[in-house]
Amino acid sequence: MSEIADADIQKRLAKPYAVVIRSSKQDLTVRIDIYSDVLRDRQRSNLGGMIEFGYRSSGLLEIKKFWFVKYNKPIFMHVPKEANEILRKAKSIIVPRKQQPDFLKDMKTYLAGIQTQEPRVVPTCHHCLRDDRLTVLTRRNAVKISADQVVCTSCAQSDLKTELKTLGITMSRAMMNQLEKQVTRVKSVPRLVEMLTPGFDPTKETDLTLIDTIVAQELSTKKDIQDLPIPDGFKEILYNVGLESLLPIQKKTILSGLFKNTSLLIVSSTSSGKTLLGELAGIPKAMQGKKMIYMSPLVALTNEKYNTFRKRYKSLGLRTGIKVGMSRIDVGKEGKPIVDTDISKADIICATYEALDLLFRSGNTKDLGEVGTVIIDEIQNLADPERGPELDGLLTRMRYHFPKAQYLALSATVGSPEVLSKELNLKLVEFEGRPVPLERHLVFARSDEEKRNIIRRLVTSEFRHTSSTGNKGQSIVFTYSRRRAQALSDWLREHGVSCAVYHGGLSYNQRRSIEHQFEKQRYACVITTAALGAGVDLPASQVLFESLAMGADWLSTAEFEQMLGRAGRLGKHDRGKVYMIVQPERKYHSGQDGYEDEVAVKLLNGIIEDVEPFADKETSAEQILATICSTGQANLKDVARTYMRMLSMSVPPSEALKHLVKTHMIRVKDGEAHPTELGKATSLSFLSPSMGLEVMKLTASFDVVDIAIILEPFENIYLSNKLQEEINSAFRTHMPTRLFSGVFSEISDVSKPKSGAGRLPQWVFEIFGKWATTFFNCGCRDYPECDHGMIKLGRWLVDRRQEGLNPSGLAALLNDKFQLWAYPGDLFSWLDSLIHGLKAVQRIANVAGKIDLSVEIDSQIASIERPLEKLDSQGKSE
């Protein structure tokens, strides 16, 4: 047995090795471990044994016994001479600092006498040594786990898991991996645990919460503008708005052919100067009679650019026009509609995607004249399920009509931009730097109350900070719903924080007022919804994510990047900050996959999703119809060829064309396709072919307003806070807040066993009675899950509007009479959409030859747009 063991030992000792000597419980005895001579963290020992020393009569130390141990039993005894040889051959001898033998001085003398390597006393991880592993501690891998204990990174990570388990904190695997990275950076387990305990103040421990810093691009000190090949008058305007130097993305784009009419996909962070690149390319051409078109998905963004360009380039003799397609609803002091101008006389045109496409669908492209430059802002909208195919089709139609124009597609958040640039036939210019540095932080909260307190501290601390340019630090707080935004804003104001709610439900005037107050630095923060992320262009230095959801869905990486890009503005702030305030094991809706802490890690480390437009048969057919109406193409092969240039094409052109024939949108004869009058009306109305045909059928028997409501139902209507609290209390759960979520049948049925309806007070049933007699009184087979309730509500709103109520008046009456809540901004948007719906019905009614309906629709539109004028005229006629 000893011979076999000896052979194994000799085999292990044949390779270069290091020796670790440490104290043991026995007097004058040390433990010895053999490791590879190449020291690695947590390397396992090859052999372990014991050396027993003794003193000679002369007082000198000597080895008495030396043996190796396996399974806690001696497996081979060595004579002192063999022990000396094993120690002498060691490439290094290590003594753990906290496990030094009492007789180390004498042992060193002995080892020197037998001519070994000089023993080194070094700090080691005692947790590793317990497991027969060796980790020499250095600045790189040493982590504190208590006031007087330091271990290696790996053992500290295990210790962190134990601490969290003791505290009852459960983390997802992904978040534990993230925290393990933090251990490596922070070098202290107690400090990380402190970050996870109630009362933690992130403003005082910023190094704990910091995940990383995205560096800023280097700014040029050279006055580059003077060297650009643009007219002197244009240069003068740029100087007047403070532009003298170019940012790196701007230099890179110029080198990529900006002034050589090269069409480009420009991908760079928010506020990095992408729109200016469009101006540099487009304004000189506009001065030569070739129009510049700027288009975006948002009315507010389009209007902002319109106002900027109009003021900036008026002195060059350039006229700026706008086309957003809003109706002319008179709401008095609550806001003014944005009125389209005559773009045929404009040199610069600002338009929303849909408003511009209306020109193409109507065949009125001559109004655009000669186009030199097209700027497509927020090109990532190609990935949007609803707007993506529309933008895709519009780009195809534009390139057909203006093949020589320069196309500049802009985005801050595009996945796989090199793929998209090839698909769009654009040259890619990509820059990953930012105008100012951006810190990304991660903070934990155990409850909603903790989240609110953390937000209060972060907002207040940032507002006290002033940048080198004299601007206060202001914050944008994103959350998942308007109701939650309102509740958070109310709480912050109660606790002394100057803030405002900012979302799409506010009226235009309200939003403009908040924007103005924020720019004047009168608000420390605004609370907004993730749904408005792309449309929030407030000069904030800090962005806080109160939650990582958008409605019922988790944020995508692209949406997250879009929102965090709002932090830090060149010329105003020295740096931007982003805080994700995460609640482990939290979901905001039962249907969500994963928990908030998992989502946080995905967003921090995620890759932006690819832009992959998709159009089903119905949508594909709609885009082919729009192209036929726009281009005048008749040859089926030409139509198919144009259609196949679309990125969202998912069905063969023959299948989409057959659908258009089936729905009476086109006629095909002798290899040519021609739109029918119904097809033209359907395309102009932005309806799908099937819906266009359905509207034609409905005009035979349905009321025109009801048809328009079917096309544009009002869905953003909620239970009032007062009613919601009563219902949640009675049912002992959180019930849906939307009226048309199926909640009415659930909460009003007292016949169900164990139903909470029996616990509701009488006044609630009185409200239900009003709902039933006003909205839910159709008595049809599908009641109350049918659409009749939506139609009745829409009709009630139209009637009240025609009596003269503005959106705020409608909202107040809904609350007073029915304990229902709607935001004035939503009501305004719905009335605007309803008018577009009525115009769609009118176009199709005209095709059917129903002139009487057309006259009625004109009257209905007039009474919705200007009800008081209509009432006055009726009074005078009487």
Q: CA 239, 242, 245: angle at the middle one, nearest 5?
A: 80
**What is the reported pLDDT for 550?**
86
Instruction: Name the 3-class secondary structure at 665.
Output: coil
Please report the DSSP string for 403-435 in residue order. TTSEEEEEES--BSHHHHHHHTT-EEEE---BS
**What is the reported pLDDT for 1?**
38
| Contacts with 176 (C-beta within 8 Å, 6 or more apart), sequence order | 161
Q: CA 640, 641, 642: angle at the middle one, nearest 5?
A: 90
CA distance 522 to 516: 9
Q: What share of the chain is helix, strand, coil (3-state, %, to 5)?
A: 45, 20, 35
Strand partners, 371: 291
Question: Tokens in use for 362?
Answer: 């109507």
Q: CA 202, 203, 208: angle at the middle one, nearest 5?
A: 50
Question: Tokens in use for 842?
Answer: 């009118």
Strand partners, 69: 48, 74
**What is the reported pLDDT for 667?**
93
CA distance 428 to 408: 10
**What is the reported pLDDT for 335?**
73
**What is the reported pLDDT for 558?**
85
Find out whether 799 and 863 touch, Cβ atoms under 8 Å. no
**What is the reported pLDDT for 704?**
95
Helix locations, 741-866, DSSP H:
743-748, 762-774, 788-802, 807-818, 824-847, 851-865
CA distances from 645 to 395, 404, 679 (A): 10, 17, 22
CATH architecture of 617-687: Orthogonal Bundle (1.10)
**What is the reported pLDDT for 786?**
80
Strand partners, 526: 476, 500
**What is the reported pLDDT for 54?**
94
Question: Tokens in use for 136?
Answer: 């020499």
Instruction: Name the 3-class secondary structure at 181.
Output: helix
Fold category of 438-605 in CATH: Rossmann fold (3.40.50)
481 φ, ψ (degrees, to nearest 5): -150, 160
Mean pLDDT for back-to-back runs of 10 residues, the chain (878 residues): 63 91 94 90 91 93 88 72 91 95 95 94 94 93 92 94 90 90 92 89 92 79 80 93 85 94 91 88 96 93 92 96 89 79 94 94 89 95 89 94 96 86 93 86 92 96 95 94 92 96 84 90 91 69 93 87 88 93 83 86 84 86 93 86 86 92 93 93 96 95 94 92 87 78 65 65 90 86 79 96 94 96 92 95 94 92 85 54
Domains 224-430 and 438-605 share a fold: yes
CA distance 562 to 412: 7
Find out whether 675 and 665 touch, Cβ atoms under 8 Å. yes
Sequence length of the chain is 878
Please state, as a whole number, how many other Cβ atoms lie within 10 Å of the Cβ of residue 205.
15
Q: What predicted TM-score, i.e. pTM, was given to this entire model? A: 0.84
Find out whether 564 and 441 touch, Cβ atoms under 8 Å. no
Find out whether 502 and 528 touch, Cβ atoms under 8 Å. yes
Find out whether 409 and 632 touch, Cβ atoms under 8 Å. no
Which of 858, 665, 684, 702 has the alpha carbon at shortest distance from 791? 702
**What is the reported pLDDT for 749?**
59
852 φ, ψ (degrees, to nearest 5): -60, -40
CA distance 76 to 286: 93
- CA quadruple 404, 405, 411, 416: dihedral, nearest 10: 0
Residue 165, CA atoms < 13 Å, CB-side half-sphere: 6
Query: Residue 325 region, left (φ>0) first, then alpha (ψ -120 to 50), else beta?
Result: left
Q: Which amino acid is at 334?
A: E
Find out whether 303 and 393 touch, Cβ atoms under 8 Å. no
Find out whether 247 and 240 touch, Cβ atoms under 8 Å. no
Q: Where are the domains of the chain?
A: 2-134, 142-197, 224-430, 438-605, 617-687, 711-877
Please give the CATH number for the structural domain made up of 711-877.
Answer: 1.10.3380
Burial of 746 (0-12, 13-18, 19+ CB in 10 A): middle
| Contacts with 619 (C-beta within 8 Å, 6 or more apart), sequence order | 389, 648, 688
**What is the reported pLDDT for 875?**
53
CATH architecture of 224-430: 3-Layer(aba) Sandwich (3.40)
Strand partners, 477: 527, 544
Scanning the structure block, which residue is given the tokens 């903790």? 450
Instruction: Name the 3-class secondary structure at 317.
Output: coil
**What is the reported pLDDT for 468?**
93
